[in-house]
Structure 1
Amino acid sequence: MEMENSLSGMQRAVEGNIEMLLPFEEEVALVCNEEGKLDGLPLNRGIRDREGCLLDIVAGNFFLCRAPRDSSAFESLTEGQIKRYREMFRYPEMFLQMGREIFPIKIKEQETGRDSR
C-alpha cells in the first residue's frame, strides 16, 4: 500500500501512536501501534527469529518499511523486499495460549476457503 510519509499518516495506518521494531537482519522496520496490546487490539502476526521461534506478537495494524541505519527517515521497500515480506506475512494467524505458552497457528487458504493476501 502507499501511504502519506508523515507522522500523522503513519499514526492513521496503525490507529495510534507508532512504535518501530527492527526484528529483521536487513534494514526493515515493522511499525505498529505502540499500545496495541495494552489497548486490547486483535493479535495480528508473530515475529520470529531465524529458527522460526516466536519472539513477539504484533497487535493491531502494522506496516513494513526500509529504515536505513544512516538515516532518520523511513523509505519504501524494494520490489524484492515486498515479495519476501508479502510471503512471510501472507497468512493470518491465530494464537492459542496454554498455560504460559503461546502457540501461533497460520490460517492457510485451504482452511479459510480463500486466499488471505
Structure 2
Amino acid sequence: MPKENKIRILYVQPGKYPEERIIDNTLKAYQSLVYGDIESVAPWRTNVRVVCNQEGKLNGMPPNRLLGDYDILMGSFFICGLRNGNFISLTDEQFKRYEKLYHDPIIFTDTPLGIYPMKATPEQYTRVMNDMQARKQVRHNRDNHNER
C-alpha cells in the first residue's frame, strides 16, 4: 500500500483544546508541529502513535498532557495512526477516542506530594500560567535585589 501524501491527525498544544489537522506526511511537517526532532511513542496497544519533541523535557517545554499515569508530555504533540512502520491518518473512531482523552487542557501544580494535574479551560490555563510567570518574575527580581 502506498504512503499517504497527507494525513489526518489530532494536534494537541499546551493550554488549548485539541484540533484536527490535515498535514503533509513528511518529517519536516512533523518537526514543525513539535518544534524540533520527533519521538514516536506507543503508549497503547493499538496502531496509534503519539509524536512529540524528542527533547521536550530537556528543552524546558511547557507541560501539556498526561501520558498514562506517571508521565507528562511536554510541548505540542500529535496523534496519528501507524501501519507498516508509516504514519497514517486517524480513523473517525480513533480521532473521537483520543480527542475525548486529551480534550481538556491541564494545569500542573507542584504540591508537597508531587505534581498534581488539574483540568482547565483554555482561559483558566492562560490566567494561571500568566500568574505563575508573574510570580516567577517577582521572585527573580527579589533575588536579584537581595544579591546587591
For the criterion TM > 0.5, the same-fold answer is yes
Larger Cα-atom Rg = 2
Equivalent residues of 2:104, 2:121 under 8 A apart: yes
What's the counterpart of residue 77 of structure 2?
A: 62
Which of 54, 76, 89 is the matching residue for 1:76?
89
Name whichever of 99-108 and 72-81 sits farther off. 99-108
- How many aligned positions are there? 105
Distance 1:19 1:105 in 2: 26
Superposition deviation, residue 98 in structure 1:
2.3
Distance 1:40 1:111 in 2: 22
Superposition deviation, residue 108 in structure 1:
4.4
| 1:15 partnered with 2:32 | no
Give percent identity, aligned residues only. Answer: 37
Tell me the TM-score normalised to structure 1 length: 0.81
RMSD: 1.9
Higher helix share: 2
Runs of 4 or more, structure 1, over 3 Å off, are 108-112
Tell me the TM-score normalised to structure 2 length: 0.65
Which structure is richer in relative contact order (CA contacts within 8 A, separation 6 or more)? 2
